[in-house]
């Protein structure tokens, strides 16, 4: 069995971001983002195949400024059906450089009244960037919140030339 937990760490000094990826077996459990004003260039040491795939994914996002066509294998069993619906809609319907409001997203999943529940689902997003929760903002273009901190949400939106 390949069922151990491994943490892969990627450094992206150009955006002052460190990405930590928790890998278990052949699925990603969680992704965490950390910001540091000064981030020294380090060689990324990848331990797993999945880590290499994730590196490919994030390099495409940060260097080529686009979301790769392939989706990283995520452990969907960790989230509720409602979260799944929110996340998958977001992945398929809101591409790089676009935004959507909490309300619009709620409408898309077929429940116009669930905007608040959508916000709650997003607050628990285990896979930021892969599930682009940073592209969800308030209806009047307010920023909304972000589980890894508002500054990182701003940073990602600026990276996508939004705001």
Partner DNA sequence: TCGCAGGGCCGCT
Partner DNA sequence: AGCGGCCCTGCGA
Kindly tell me which of 39 and 117 has the beta carbon lying closer to DNA: 117
**Which tokens go with 8?**
């892969």
Q: Which candidate in 109, 121, 133, 136 is catalytic?
A: 133
Within 119-148, which residues bind DNA (CB under 7 A)? 119-125, 128, 133-134, 136, 138-140, 142, 144-147
Minimum distance, C-beta of residue 49 to DNA, in the bound complex (Å): 28
DSSP tag of 128: B
Kindly tell me which of 58 and 99 has the beta carbon lying closer to DNA: 99
Within 87-126, which residues bind DNA (CB under 7 A)? 101-103, 111, 113-125
Residues with Cβ within 8 Å of residue 105, at least 6 apart in sequence: 86, 89, 90, 94, 115, 118, 136
Kindly tell me which of 64 and 116 has the beta carbon lying closer to DNA: 116
Alpha helices in the chain (DSSP H): 49-63, 81-93, 102-108, 115-123, 150-159
Residue 115 appears among annotated catalytic residues? no
DSSP tag of 101: E
Nearest to 78 by CA among 30, 136, 46: 30
Positions in the binding site for DNA (CB under 7 A): 80-83, 101-103, 111, 113-125, 128, 133-134, 136, 138-140, 142, 144-147, 153
Residues recognised as catalytic: 133
């Amino acid at each position: 069995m390949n069922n151990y937990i491994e943490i892969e760490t990627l450094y992206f000094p150009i955006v002052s971001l460190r990405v930590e990826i928790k890998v278990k077996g052949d699925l990603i459990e969680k992704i965490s983002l950390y910001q540091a004003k000064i981030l020294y260039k380090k060689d990324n040491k990848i331990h797993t195949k999945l880590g290499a795939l994730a590196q490919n994914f994030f390099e495409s996002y940060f260097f080529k400024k686009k979301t790769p066509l392939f989706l990283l294998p995520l452990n969907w069993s960790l989230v509720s059906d409602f979260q799944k619906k929110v996340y998958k809609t977001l992945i398929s319907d809101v591409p790089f450089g676009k935004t959507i409001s909490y309300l619009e997203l709620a409408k898309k999943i077929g429940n116009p009244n669930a905007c608040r529940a959508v916000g709650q689902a997003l607050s628990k997003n285990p896979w930021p960037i892969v599930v682009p929760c940073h592209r969800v903002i308030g209806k009047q273009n307010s920023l909304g919140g972000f589980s890894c901190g508002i500054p990182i949400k701003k940073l990602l939106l600026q990276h996508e030339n939004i705001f």
